[in-house]
Structure 1
Amino acid sequence: MTGASIAYRWTREEFLRAWEAGAFDHRVELVEGEVWSVVIGDWHGFTTGNLLRLLTAKGFRLTTATLPTGNSLPDPDCWVLREGAEPIGTVGTKVSVWAPADVALVVEVSDETVMYDLGIKAKLYGRAGYSTYWVVTKDVLYEHTDPTPEGFRVRREYRAGEDIPIHYADTTLPVTDLLSTL
């Protein structure tokens, strides 16, 4: 007899217990109850490093830490936190929870996962109330603003030769500088 398999949905607490116990043999994140592998590679690494260098601004800190969002534990490639912000809670013993007003920018560097980053993750970060979310690809930088309970109201595309506003720093950067190449 065969039957339909039942997909298991992880809770944050179950995922954290497994993660803290070393159950995963590679880098993973929890997105809406599903455990996703984190895709990495040369282009991804160089682009993330480039973003960390270019997005530095007085009064803000950059991090690559897990960013608890609703019942998910995504690992954005980098995100910007208001300097002096204090966690509003913790998940497990190692992961801080931050107020959306203290998170100035969330960034996913996207090659193989672009559809997930533009879809599910955009909804996730928008519902959380983060003011600005970027998806950086090899050719386009997608900026999401105006968060809503359904995701983001506004999505703009920026390409090489254009400047993108860095809202928290009250400046702009050339998109060409943000689209890293090897």
Structure 2
Amino acid sequence: MTEASIAYRWTRDEFLRAWEAGAFDHRVELIEGEVWSVVIGDWHGFTTGTLIGLLPCKGFRVTTATLPTAGSLPDPDCWVLHAEAEPVDTIGTKVSVWAPSDVALVVEVSDETVMQDLGVKAKMYGRAGYAVYWVVTKEVIYEHTEPTPDGFRARREYRAGEQIPVRHADSTLAVEDILSVR
């Protein structure tokens, strides 16, 4: 007879207590009750830094802070917040909660985690009501718009030679300027 395994689902409070106590020996995030390792590397870090430098921020702030989303605590690679926004709540001693209407763009730079970023995280960010979500890979940038309770209604791919709209700034960026990092 085999026994069914029982997967443990973390609550946001349990995860924060463990994180604040130093229980994790590497960077992690809480996604829908599961603790996920955050995968980083040279391409990932350089691409994130390049993107942060390219994003227009007049009237906005670009951050790499944790972005509480429902019961999850994802660590997007960067995200854009209205400059005048104030937290609507705090979690633990260090994490601010923001109104979805104050979050203009959420970005995941994705190499090894592309399936999770296009699947689970796209649904999570869409349900949260964030206006625009980008998944940046080495070949393409996926732009998700029109959030719904099931994720996002629209997804478009942008490749080198194209311009991706930066909707919060009413401008565009050349895709190759983001993807050309080596």
Question: Fold-level match, TM-score > 0.5?
Answer: yes
Long gaps (5+) in structure 2: none
Q: CA deviation at 1:50?
A: 0.4
Instruction: State the alpha-carbon separation in 1 of the partners of residues 178 and 102 from structure 2.
Output: 23
Instruction: State the alpha-carbon separation in 2 of the partners of residues 176 and 46 from structure 1.
Output: 14
Q: CA deviation at 1:104?
A: 0.3
Q: Which moved more, 1:52-61 or 1:28-37?
A: 52-61
Instruction: State the alpha-carbon separation in 1 of the partners of residues 169 and 178 from structure 2.
Output: 16
Alignment match, 1:86: 86
Instruction: State the alpha-carbon separation in 2 of the partners of residues 14 and 128 from structure 1.
Output: 21
Question: SS of the residue aligned with 2:96?
Answer: strand
Q: Which moved more, 1:55-64 or 1:7-16?
A: 55-64
Runs of 4+ displaced beyond 4 Å = none
Question: SS of the residue aligned with 1:68?
Answer: coil
Query: What RMSD, in angstroms, separates the aligned Cα atoms of the two structures?
Result: 0.8
Alignment match, 2:105: 105
Question: SS of the residue aligned with 1:49?
Answer: helix
Partner AA of 2:34 in structure 1: E
Long gaps (5+) in structure 1: none
Instruction: State the alpha-carbon separation in 2 of the partners of residues 30 and 180 from structure 1.
Output: 30
Q: Which moved more, 1:53-62 or 1:153-162?
A: 53-62
Instruction: State the alpha-carbon separation in 1 of the partners of residues 180 and 44 from structure 2.
Output: 9
Spell out, residue by residue over 1:41-97, the C-alpha distance to the aligned partner (whole angstroms, 9 max, x if none). Answer: 000000000011001320000000000000000000000000010000011110000
CA contact (8 A) 1:43 1:180 kept: no
Instruction: State the alpha-carbon separation in 2 of the partners of residues 170 and 85 from structure 1.
Output: 19
**1:39 maps to 2:39:** yes
Alignment match, 1:126: 126
Alignment match, 1:48: 48
